[in-house]
Amino acid sequence: MLKNWTVTTQPVRLGSDGIMIREHYLLNKKHGNHKYTETLVSIFGSANTSNRIALVGEQFRLNQQLYNRRGGRPLSSYAMEYCLTLPKGYRPSKEQWQLIVKDCCLALAKLCKLNKTEFAQYKQQIRAVLHQQKQNETRGSGDHVHLIIGKVVGKRVLKELQQKKATKLIKQSFNLSALKHVGIDHRSYEPIEIKKGRRLSTWQYQHQKATEALEIEKQIKQMQAQCDKWLTAREEGNDRQKRRQENRLLKTYESLKNHPLSTQQIEQIQSIKNIIH
């Protein structure tokens, strides 16, 4: 079960240059990040849309410099980018992705409380490209859409688009829309890992994760025992034993770094490190 389908957000920086860099990236089949991408599909907007976002941003920045007597930092980010990602094994059609993106954009528009004129401009500053990924590779993500929305409409910047409430809202909208238009529910999703060219069944995946968790706990206990021996050696003034335990602690620590650790496990390890140092 997943709490949400995956959504990542980031402001598009570097002004108009940043917008054009992202536009080039979205449809560049030769980019290193697209090694596991099968198809790049434009589902909303075009290069002209990105040009429009950049032009509107530059005009706003110029007006800031001309008329803003209060000073302050000029606007350097003209858009927000959201990446909507599904796990491998799910492949909505282009039309289904269009419906999902439309729902997400409408939800964000409501959050920003756009008037009629602002909403008309907002719709003209939406750029979305679908990346369909190879489904049987061990690396790479699942199918995903890069969604870029211009932050400047009329005489204001839509600051809401980069706030936490926008991220929360678009995740909720993505969840609901995927269920509505594709029939997939994040709450009933069971993770599947791909290894050595084949999918692991659910019980194999769970067994693998349980085994890994036990190994992590075993090594943390081992690290604690080594720390206790180090403390005893320090109290007894046994420098040889201290060095021996320090070396063992270092090896155990290096081994643990290769595992995904929970916040509690990281804190346990840090407390041991604090004692030694």
**Within-domain flag for 90:** yes
The verdict on 171 and 269 lying in the same domain is no
pLDDT at res. 195:
46
Rounded CA separation 141/35 (Å) = 11
DSSP state of 201: P
Looking at the chain, which runs of residues are DSSP E strands?
6-12, 37-44, 79-85, 126-133, 144-150, 152-153, 156-157, 194-195, 198-199
pLDDT at res. 70:
65
For the beta carbon of residue 79, count every other beta carbon within 10 angstroms. 27
The verdict on 152 and 185 lying in the same domain is yes
pLDDT at res. 123:
97
Main-chain dihedrals φ then ψ at residue 106, nearest 5 degrees: -65, -40
User: Hey, which residues does 80 pair with through a beta bridge?
Assistant: 11, 149
For the beta carbon of residue 175, count every other beta carbon within 10 angstroms. 19
The verdict on 73 and 146 lying in the same domain is yes
Q: In which domain, by residue range, is 114 found?
A: 6-193
**Within-domain flag for 64:** yes
pLDDT at res. 174:
97
Residue 221 tokens, joined: 């206990």
- Which residue among 166, 193, 220 closes a domain? 193
Looking at 3-140, which runs of residues are DSSP E strands?
6-12, 37-44, 79-85, 126-133
**Within-domain flag for 1:** no
pLDDT at res. 199:
54
Sites in the chain below the pLDDT cut of 50: 194-197
Q: How many domains does the chain have?
A: 2
Q: Amino acid identity, residue 265?
A: Q
- In terms of phi and psi (left: phi > 0; alpha: psi -120 to 50; beta: otherwise), the region of 113 is left
Q: Could you report the per-residue pLDDT of 128-179, keeping only the tens digit for each?
A: 999 999 988 777 889 999 999 999 999 999 999 999 999 999 999 999 999 9
- Is pTM beyond 0.85? Reply is no
- Reported for 104-108, long-range contacts at CB under 8 A and 24+ positions apart, including other chains, are 104/147, 104/170, 104/173, 104/174, 104/177, 105/147, 105/149, 107/169, 107/170, 107/172, 107/173, 108/149, 108/160, 108/161, 108/166, 108/169, 108/170, 108/173
Counting residues of the chain whose pLDDT is more than 90, the rounded percentage is 55
pLDDT at res. 72:
67
- Which residue among 162, 193, 224 closes a domain? 193
The verdict on 186 and 210 lying in the same domain is no
- Which residue among 193, 215, 240 closes a domain? 193
Question: Length of the chain, please?
Answer: 277
CATH number, domain of 99, equals: 3.30.930.30
Site of tokens 């509690």? 264
